[in-house]
Chains A and B, each alone.
Chain A
């Protein structure tokens, strides 16, 4: 079965420090991979998307992620954290799973805190 694992439910960094949020997936078919961000009491906003065109994907707000097939990973990084980056981040995989196409399967999320 397809699944997404996000290591670390809470990550805390100092402002200006590197942000690294980990995501590993399992999929029986070549996946599409996504990172979404969610601010309190809001919907999900797309940060970036992997579609096999390039293994290093650049997204909005300075975030990027690298697809590593051998490690089944899609970790999210940002060189320098900003206070406004504090939010919940979700990794997700989609594909023709379980009879419904384009179904998104989410990880449990990682809450990022940024300290001054």
Chain B
């Protein structure tokens, strides 16, 4: 069964450092999502791509976060500089295009900022 791949699974960094997360969606899925999940809360959408274009980044802290999906396949989420409050689980998901399509999630990257 096809799965969403993410790496690394765990990342520990010091504040003010740069970090990057990678996601490879299910083959053929045009839509890719990055979510942030703070401990004890539900995931919150950071950015959504349709192919290589951003369709929703309203909740992305653009002063320090950036995301790209250059060839419309895999994607990278970057934080620079990292802050203590960025400690969270970062989840990637993908879906076929279209409202109501099921989103399939990867295993996530657990970020700890010291």
Contacts and interface: CB of A to CB of B under 8 A. Distances in A.
Interface of A: 4, 32, 34, 36, 41-46, 49, 51, 90, 92, 94-96, 98-104, 106-109
27 contacts: A4-B42, A32-B99, A41-B110, A42-B107, A43-B91, A43-B105, A43-B106, A43-B108, A44-B43, A44-B91, A45-B105, A46-B102, A90-B42, A90-B43, A94-B100, A98-B56, A100-B48, A100-B55, A100-B56, A101-B98, A102-B101, A104-B33, A104-B45, A106-B43, A107-B42, A108-B40, A108-B42
A102 B42 contact: no
Given A98-B58, A101-B55, A102-B95, A42 B100 contact: no
B44 interface: yes
Contacts of A106: 42-44
B42 A96 contact: no
A98 to B, nearest CB: 6
Interface residues of B, number: 31
Interface residue SS majority, chain A: strand
A29 B46 CA distance: 22
Contacts of B99: 32, 94-96, 101-102
Contacts of A95: 99-100
Contact of B58 (A36, A41, A99, A101): A99
Contacts of B35: 104
A61 B100 CA distance: 22
A9 to B, nearest CB: 8
Nearest to B101: A102
B8 to A, nearest CB: 13
Contact of A51 (B97, B100, B106, B107): B100
Interface string B8-49: 000000000000000000000001010100001111110010
A5 to B, nearest CB: 11
